[in-house]
Chains A and B, each alone.
Chain A
Amino acid sequence: MTGYFELSWLDVVISLVLVGVLLIVSLVQRLGIGRGVFAGAIRTFVQLMLIGYVLKFVFDLSKWYWVLLMLAVMLVVAARTAATRDECRQPGRMRIAGTAIVAGVVVTMVTVVALVIRIRPWYLPQILIPISGMVIGNTMNAVSLTTSRFRSEMGHQRGQVEAALALGATSTQASARAFRQGMKAGLVPTMNALMVVGLVQLPGMMSGQIIAGVLSVQAVRYQIVVMYMIACGAAVGSLVAAVLVRRQLFTQRHQLRSEYL
């Protein structure tokens, strides 16, 4: 037997004391987020319970279509989250976020399943779902940071962008600086994660195995691969998002569509 301390439901309920601290702080400081604290605590509880059952169901059946459906739901939720964070209220942001996240995740997962992990069957849910989840989450952050920064830079630099267009620059040339700033903003958190991983925060995948008492050289290897995967997902997602936003911001005739800023 390993040093694995089981949690009972009662233990989980007791841990609500911790949320109570957050509630008290928010009430004393009148932050006006009391309802959010309640909703957050309840959602955490319900969502994780449900996802536990759903995962067990998908693992037990181990059918490719259930796995893909599950991944599709994760992608839709990620796209919606990234789209709502985009301050631009124009149509098309859901499509942009969704396309960028799917591109980043598919490129990464296909590469890894084909070349690195080589699981059989390819849809083995115990591996595919948790790893995809990590890539989806990180790509989502990169995409939403990229789109919002790119748009806001284009707003700030609007005069310069139009001056460049008026000189005969293409939309790609005129928006080049804001494009780079947007992509950089989207990739910096991932770069930082690669730098400090393990030094400040132990990644979730390793933490889980440590707590379950089965930390192995395998877990470390997996974690290294996962870190490289989130880097790839973020890179592809950020690039696709920036290209799609740029396409949205200009007409075919290299005119700035300021209503999309």
Chain B
Amino acid sequence: MTKPKLATERVTLTRTRYGADGSPPEPVLCDVSLEVAAGEVFGIIGPSGAGKTSLLRLLNGLETPDRGRILLDGEDISGLDTIDVRRRVGMVFQTPALFPGTVGENVGYALEIADVPGATREAKGLVCLDRAGLSDDFWSRDALELSQGEQQRVAIARALAAEPEVLLLDEPTSALDPSAAARIVDLVGSLRRDLGMTIVFVTHLMEQARRICDRALVLVEGRGVEEGEVAALFDAPSSEFTRLFIQGRLDGGRR
């Protein structure tokens, strides 16, 4: 692979807080390495509680690893300005987390944060909405009254406002019905195709990973067990974990 767009080198993250049951802090992620090539859709797959969300939060700088490095275009992000890193690496959460107000205010806020002058915000915001598959009519609608699928699209439009090079998506379809989920998956494909964005897509749904990811990392209990082409992972998993996990999920899906 040529120089990766985004990579982690043996990152370890330990919760600073004790568990709800008083259990001592334990590593959430342990020695996880991955390499995401420019322009690909990279999947992070694994059962819930595996540390997928924590890994994504590290990539956006919402948390700092205790050990290991995160590289953006080959540069260690701990030496870069955090705000700058977050503009280059956008993130969409599992729940849309929209601000109270209109869709336009949500996207406008992101544009304001990205230093886009007030006069051009609406025009740019409408472009973001369009890229997220929402018509201009949505601009003045109340964000919190939209359907879950539409809210997630607004969250994606908001994340596109800073024109990030990389977009991190944390199980963006988990709260959606199957048809809304399928449309979000299509949208992710078009972002890569039309904008050439690099996308990291977290999911626990194997069918989804198979459909849109080029390559993926399998994460189990905070450790990366396997990384490679999605087709290879599914057809010839080299680890027992991957095999069991994939089969369990696929069987579950057929039931």
Interface residues of A (CB under 8 A from B): 159-160, 162-170, 173, 251, 253-256, 258-259
Contact = CB atoms under 8 A, between A and B. Distances in A.
Contacts of A164: 99, 109, 113
Contacts of B109: 164, 167
Contact of A168 (B63, B83, B99): B83
A166 B113 contact: no
Given A160-B99, A173-B113, A254-B82, A168 B162 contact: yes
B125 interface: no
A182 B109 CA distance: 21
Given A159-B97, A253-B61, A169 B113 contact: yes
Interface in B121-160: 155, 158-159
Nearest to A165: B62
A48 B93 CA distance: 57
B82 A166 contact: no
Given A159-B95, A160-B99, A254-B82, A167 B62 contact: no
Contacts of B62: 162, 165-166, 255-256
Contact of A253 (B64, B93, B159): B64
Q: Which 3 A-B pairs have the closest CB atoms?
A: A159-B97, A163-B97, A166-B91
A163 B110 CA distance: 10
Contacts of B63: 255
Contact of B93 (A159, A168, A169, A256): A159
B86 interface: yes
Contacts of A169: 83, 113
B93 A163 contact: yes
Nearest to B159: A167
A168 B114 CA distance: 7
B95 A165 contact: no
Contacts of A165: 62, 86
B110 A167 contact: yes
B161 interface: yes
